[in-house]
Amino acid sequence: MTARHLLDIESLGRDGLDHLLTLTDRFVEVSQRRVPKVPVLQGKTVVSLFYEDSTRTRLSFETAARRLSADVMTFSVSTSSANKGESIRDTVETIEAMGIDAIVVRHKAAGVPWQIAGWTGASVVNGGDGWHQHPTQALLDCYTIRQRLGGLEGRAIAIVGDAKHSRVARSNVDAFTALGADVTLVAPPTLLPASLDAWPVKVEHDLDAVLQRVDVVYLLRMQLERQEAGLVPSLREYSTFYGLTDERARTLRDDVLVMHPGPMNRGVEIGATVPDRPNTVITQQVANGVAVRMAVLFDLLAGGVL
Amino acid sequence: MSAGALAIRGGSLADGTRADVVIIDGVVAAIAENAEIPLDAAVLDASGCIVGPGLVDLHAHLREPGNEAAETVETGSRAAALGGYTAVVAMPNTTPTIDSASVVNLVRQLGERAGLVDVYPAGAITIGREGRQMAPLAEMAALGVRLFTDDGSGVQDNRLMRRALEYASALGVTLAQHCEDSSLSEGGVMHEGAWSSKLGLPGQPAEAEELMVARDIALCRRIGSPVHFLHVSTAGSVELVRRAKADGLPVTAEAAPHHFTLTDACLANYDTVFKVHPPLRTEADRTAVQQGLLDSTIDAIATDHAPHTPETKERSMLDAPPGMLGLETALALALTELSLPMPRLFAVMSSGPARIAQIAERHGELGIGRAANVCVIDPSERWEVDSRKLASKARNTPYAGRVLQGRVRHTVRNGVATVKNGQAQR
């Protein structure tokens, strides 16, 4: 049997998403136990292969693997040592020789998880590839919305900010729309993908108008380098027109969820006090991340059978 | 080496007439049906085949000197001969760059030693292809170099390009441009459009190419020195060239096989074999390039043969080098994918490029009294591209597994068979 992978949201489809979200319920329950650990992946080895630093995602995956009783190997390749001399394939073959069952991969380049899936017999989990996909982030976001709002069907969601350079935006657009939500991207045109022809989304530039009719505001991280690259005149101007400032947040209905994949730039895309608002669910997203990743690893490595 | 007598028997010419071709001492002595064949002549069977002039490639990266792990002049020449070529223009982006007489001589000698095709080094327009200072064009022109290019990148600086064209106008040489405005293309690893947006890869917009085509047409209009456009890949570029030609400007253009056979959709699985500059474009661009070849807007099919070792291609889409193999598949792709009449096929693969390279005295035409550079094509042979069986040192063909129709049976260079029955002779 060929290994199964989690590379993107598209190939999961609605059924795959529903299945993993339902499975997540059980691991949320496990996470709340006094000893939050089950022996379902005993003897399995999960490697985290991070070519790009992301301590929070790596820790979330490793915690998930440990709570399933899998052995965990960390292969941290700092940007500097991932020098251009070594091929990714050589690295993967070396790791595989140690006997492993799954590789969680993070890379600055889109597509690397697909390349690795072609070179290994282990299951590959995409932990974020460039601007492309971050499927476990999308799963945990969907799970969080489902927890708070009961579901995504018919919900209006605004994804605000730098969608062009965002794997979170790409995977969340796919996941939210697959589950029946109505998605609007809000960003200056310089921060939108070159072509949105095939995207099932609306695009707007007036954040204030959009905020009046949404159930969820999903903020994307705004990086300083976008200003340096001349995509926006300044972070200040970005914040003024596209940030969920404290003032803007006060215009939201109380039940509107505010979400962010982290790490936040308080004062840029999100006002300093917005994270403390009752229906800002950023820490809940992080908590659900571990359970979602348990569901993913369990599904891939134990065939989904308890 | 004395060639002696050689006869190519039983084939047809591009126009369909049946003819044997008799070659004596490297020169075509007769082209006629049932020609008298000298008793001592070696005979190549061409039954069922089309006999035409040896193919000419304006654009091959032979990688030597500097990157002999990917290709050498010898292995590249062998690939070329198997592809039906008798002449190849070697791109100057070697290490060191072909930007001086000594490197020109070196590459030429390597070509002679390999002895499989005539290797014509192209010189760089600027020293080290750095785009800062003009290379010694006259010194290289004095050695016979007729094509200059910084291929791999375009000459970004408008004033430098103007000066180079002015300087070149006195030398009777052609500047060939890799059209890519680097401020627009920087960081882009594929065509910017629907696919790059979906795949999350940084793109190069079509305008990065078209702006430089437009600039060079403007400079050409002013200066009158010929400009050759390398690997045009967008509908907009084809149209710009079409209009410049209608205006009577001395511009020429080539297209690479991958730009008339593949599109950016090929990158969907992140296989770096499809990473190439200029990038694979949209279906509309692919069709426009085909149309340009049909209506003579585009003068030549040029391979942009770009070997890379497997290790370097096994990097990420951002880090892997651009380029794909072309010499052994170009002809078959043209035969399979384009509906060009045979005379037009030889125009774009032999006489057209020979004129642009200014080697038409020896290449590009099959005629009595001319140097015997001949390509014999079996148009009915179907074959599957197998990357392991290529003569090139590298394996980065995007066509592995594809079944193509039409294959080279024999290649004759200067009266000597370099390929017989599909086998390289050295």
Catalytic residue among A14, A33, A56, A253: A56
A10 touches chain B (CB under 8 A): no
Residue A85 pLDDT greater than 60, yes or no:
no
B270 touches chain A (CB under 8 A): yes
Query: Does any domain span residue B361?
Result: no
In whole numbers, what is the pLDDT of chain A averaged over residues?
94
- The whole-angstrom separation of Cα A215 and Cα A228 is 33
* Burial class of residue A129 (count of CB atoms within 10 Å of its CB; 0-12, 13-18, 19+): buried
* The two three-digit tokens of residue B297, written as one number: 């807007």
ipTM reported for the complex, 2 dp: 0.94
Query: Does any domain span residue B86?
Result: yes
B44 and B58 housed in the same domain: no
B136 and B278 housed in the same domain: yes
B224 and B236 housed in the same domain: yes
Among residues A8, A221, A290, the alpha carbon closest in space to that of A129 is found at A8
- The whole-angstrom separation of Cα B297 and Cα B279 is 20
Among the listed ranges A81-95, A104-118, A169-183, B103-117, which one has the minimum average pLDDT value? A81-95
For chain A, how many helices (H) and strands (E)?
11, 9
Indicate the pLDDT class of residue A134, thresholds 50, 70 and 90: very high
**pLDDT given for residue A227 in this prediction:** 87
Query: Does any domain span residue B140?
Result: yes
- The whole-angstrom separation of Cα A216 and Cα A200 is 17
Nearest residue on chain B to A130, alpha-carbon basis:
B200
Residue B3 pLDDT greater than 70, yes or no:
no
B210 and B325 housed in the same domain: yes
B34 and B177 housed in the same domain: no
Residues of chain B found within 8 Å of residue A87, distances taken between Cβ atoms: 311-312, 314-315
pLDDT tens track for B272-312: 999 999 999 999 999 999 999 999 999 999 999 999 999 99
**pLDDT given for residue A223 in this prediction:** 87
B182 and B317 housed in the same domain: yes
Can you tell me the mean pLDDT for B2-10?
Answer: 87
Tell me, yes or no, if A205 is annotated catalytic.
no
CA distance B401 to chain A (A): 17
Query: Does any domain span residue B311?
Result: yes
Can you tell me the mean pLDDT for B178-187?
Answer: 97
**pLDDT given for residue A225 in this prediction:** 87
Residue B1 pLDDT greater than 70, yes or no:
no
If one counts the domains in chain B, the total is 2
8 Å CB contact of A87 and B193? no
Stronger pLDDT, A180 or A225, i.e. the higher one: A180
B103 and B180 housed in the same domain: yes
**pLDDT given for residue B263 in this prediction:** 98
Query: Does any domain span residue B44?
Result: yes
pLDDT tens track for A243-270: 999 999 999 999 999 999 999 999 999 9
Pairing of strands B374-384, B50-53: antiparallel
Identify whether the C-beta of residue A222 lies closer than 8 Å to the C-beta of residue A181.
Answer: no
Integer angstrom CA distances of residue A78 from A47, A168, B131: 16, 22, 34
Q: Across the interface, which of A132, A195, A197 has its CB nearest the CB of B200?
A: A132
Q: Which residues have a Cβ under 8 Å from the Cβ of B221 and sit 6 or more positions away?
A: B244, B247, B249
| Domain end among B325, B356, B387 | B356
A89 touches chain B (CB under 8 A): yes
B128 and B263 housed in the same domain: yes
Q: Give the number of other CB atoms < 10 A from CB of residue B159.
A: 7
pLDDT tens track for A149-201: 999 999 999 999 999 999 999 999 999 999 999 999 999 999 999 999 999 99
| The architecture CATH gives domain A13-134+286-301 | 3-Layer(aba) Sandwich (3.40)
CATH fold of A135-285, please? Rossmann fold (3.40.50)
Nearest residue on chain A to B272, alpha-carbon basis:
A115
Catalytic residue among B57, B151, B304, B378: B304
**pLDDT given for residue A224 in this prediction:** 84
8 Å CB contact of A115 and B314? yes
Interface test with B, best of A8, A80, A124, A131 (most B CBs within 10 A): A131
Q: What is the spatial order of strands in the sheet that A123-129 belongs to?
A: A71-76, A45-50, A102-107, A123-129
Interface test with B, best of A105, A112, A231 (most B CBs within 10 A): A112
pLDDT tens track for B126-157: 999 999 999 999 999 999 999 999 999 999 99
DSSP label at residue B347: I
B264 touches chain A (CB under 8 A): no
B201 and B217 housed in the same domain: yes
Residues constituting chain B: 426
Percentage of chain A exceeding pLDDT 90? 88
**pLDDT given for residue B247 in this prediction:** 98
Residue B270: which CATH number?
A: 3.20.20.140
Tell me, yes or no, if A24 is annotated catalytic.
no
B200 touches chain A (CB under 8 A): yes
pLDDT tens track for A39-68: 999 999 999 999 988 889 999 999 999 999
Per the structure, the complete domain to which residue B151 belongs is given by 54-356
B31 and B58 housed in the same domain: no
pLDDT tens track for B152-171: 999 999 999 999 999 999 99
Can you tell me the mean pLDDT for B260-283?
Answer: 98
**pLDDT given for residue A2 in this prediction:** 58
Residues of chain A found within 8 Å of residue B183, distances taken between Cβ atoms: none
B241 and B144 housed in the same domain: yes
Residue A86 pLDDT greater than 90, yes or no:
no
Domain with CATH 3.40.50.1370 in chain A: 13-134+286-301, 135-285
Integer angstrom CA distances of residue B178 from A220, B188, B229, B241, B248: 38, 15, 7, 14, 22
Contacts across the A-B interface (CB distance below 8 Å): 73
Q: Where are the beta strands (DSSP E) in A12-122?
A: 45-50, 71-76, 102-107
* The two three-digit tokens of residue B408, written as one number: 């080279």
Indicate the pLDDT class of residue A88, thresholds 50, 70 and 90: confident
**pLDDT given for residue B420 in this prediction:** 98
Residue B408: which CATH number?
A: 2.30.40.10
8 Å CB contact of A111 and B270? yes
Among residues B228, B193, B227, B234, the alpha carbon closest in space to that of B210 is found at B234
CA distance A206 to chain B (A): 23
| Domain end among B330, B356, B382 | B356
Residues of chain A found within 8 Å of residue B317, distances taken between Cβ atoms: 109-112
